[in-house]
Amino acid sequence: DTGVSQNPRHKITKRGQNVTFRCDPISEHNRLYWYRQTLGQGPEFLTYFQNEAQLEKSRLLSDRFSAERPKGSFSTLEIQRTEQGDSAMYLCASSPTPETQYFGPGTRLLVL
């Protein structure tokens, strides 16, 4: 499978716990994006990497969220001290150019 992969696919956690998600982009894509999608809404941009550099971050993103892409390949998104409002689908996308973004299957997070 040569598409974007994300792990885990589902995560259930208790409020206050930390969670970490992983995204493996398409191998030749140097651009990587994280989005969050809640029910009935379109995806909402969180952050963008070009290679290992984090070049854009949403102003709406809480400081409990942090993302890394240490070697310019896979990326991780960590949420600290989770809240019920963090329950959502977390989507990763990658692209070879700024224009076309290809999404992975997503990680569905439920915070109890």
Partner 1 sequence: QKEVEQNSGPLSVPEGAIASLNCTYSDRVSQSFFWYRQYSGKSPELIMSIYSNGDKEDGRFTAQLNKASQYVSLLIRDSQPSDSATYLCAVRSVAGSYQLTFGKGTKLSVIP
Q: Which residues bind partner 1 (CB under 8 A)?
A: 31, 33, 35, 40-45, 48, 50, 55-56, 58, 89, 91, 98-106
User: How many C-beta atoms surround the C-beta of residue 89 within 10 A?
Assistant: 18
* Torsion angles phi and psi, residue 60, rounded to 5: -85, -10
CB of 27 to partner 1, least distance (A): 18
Minimum Å gap between C-beta 20 and partner 1 is 19
Q: Smallest gap, in angstroms, from Cβ of residue 16 to partner 1?
A: 28
Q: Is the CB of 6 or the CB of 82 nearer to partner 1?
A: 6
In this complex, which beta carbon is closest to partner 1, that of residue 42 or of residue 70?
A: 42
The CA distances from residue 109 to 83, 93, 94, 96, in Å, are 11, 17, 21, 28
SS3 per residue for 47-63: EEEECCEEEEECCCCCC
